[in-house]
């Protein structure tokens, strides 16, 4: 994969989210934040996540949506169960995925991070192809930006967030980051 000048990645669908703004001037992108999300909760394959990030969630479509349909949130990338990857916000822009958060003495992790949402939950194992897509995307981002740390949402918002959750296999993911793509 290569990065376009617009920082949209090849082979990744781009669905624009209105929920972004500018990063602080001179702020390097140094952190990857891994999340999980599913809408409705624990249901996979529908359009709920896309609708949430594009402010088009129907509050009548599911009881849970009434609570969240007004949220203005986004992510840079969303990796579905089948590995399909959708980008919502250009990497150079600030997506709204981390909320109140801290990492290594700095607050507001949205300023200096890229958010990657895995379609999943805290109770279901992620799929093989999600790990492959996540590792490939992560390596591309590592080659493009001065990434120094990769963390879970729960690491930067402890007590408030639990994702990517106990089913996310960090050992497997970190090992996959070290495997080079076959030419």
Residues that bind Zn ion (CB under 5 A): 35, 153, 163
Active site residue 22: no
Q: How far is the CB of 98 from Zn ion (least distance, A)?
A: 7
Q: 34 phi and psi, to 5 degrees?
A: -95, 130
CA separation, residue 148 to residues 28, 66, 80 (Å): 10, 38, 25
Nearer to Zn ion, 9 or 95 (CB): 95
Nearer to Zn ion, 30 or 154 (CB): 154
DSSP 30-55: -EEEEEEE-SSTT--SSSHHHHHHTT
Residue among 43, 51, 84, 117 flagged as catalytic: 117
Q: How far is the CB of 103 from Zn ion (least distance, A)?
A: 14
DSSP 100-125: S-EETTEE-GGGGEEEEEEE--SSSP
Helix, strand, coil shares of the chain, percent, nearest 5, are 25, 20, 55
Nearer to Zn ion, 62 or 155 (CB): 155
Nearer to Zn ion, 111 or 163 (CB): 163
Alpha-carbon span 59 to 65, nearest angstrom: 5
Q: Tell which residue, 11, 13, 6, has the closest CA to residue 87.
A: 13
Instruction: Give the residue numbers annotated as catalytic, written as ranges.
Output: 117
């Amino acid at each position: 994969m290569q990065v376009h000048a617009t920082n949209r990645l090849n082979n990744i669908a781009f669905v624009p989210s209105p929920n972004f703004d500018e990063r602080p001037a001179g702020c390097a992108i140094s952190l990857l934040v891994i999340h999980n999300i599913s809408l409705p909760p624990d249901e996979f394959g529908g359009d709920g996540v896309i609708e949430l990030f594009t402010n088009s969630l129907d509050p009548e479509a599911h009881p849970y949506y009434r609570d969240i349909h007004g949220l203005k949130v986004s992510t840079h990338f969303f990796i579905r169960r089948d590995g399909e990857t959708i980008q919502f916000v250009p990497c150079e822009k600030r997506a709204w995925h981390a909320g109140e958060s801290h990492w290594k003495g700095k607050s507001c992790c949205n300023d200096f991070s890229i958010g990657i949402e895995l379609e999943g939950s805290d109770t279901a194992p992620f799929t093989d192809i999600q790990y492959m897509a996540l590792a490939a995307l992560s390596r591309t981002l590592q080659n493009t930006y001065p990434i120094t740390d990769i963390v879970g949402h729960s690491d930067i918002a402890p007590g408030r967030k639990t994702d990517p959750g106990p089913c996310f296999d960090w050992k497997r993911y970190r090992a996959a980051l070290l495997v080079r793509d076959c030419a």
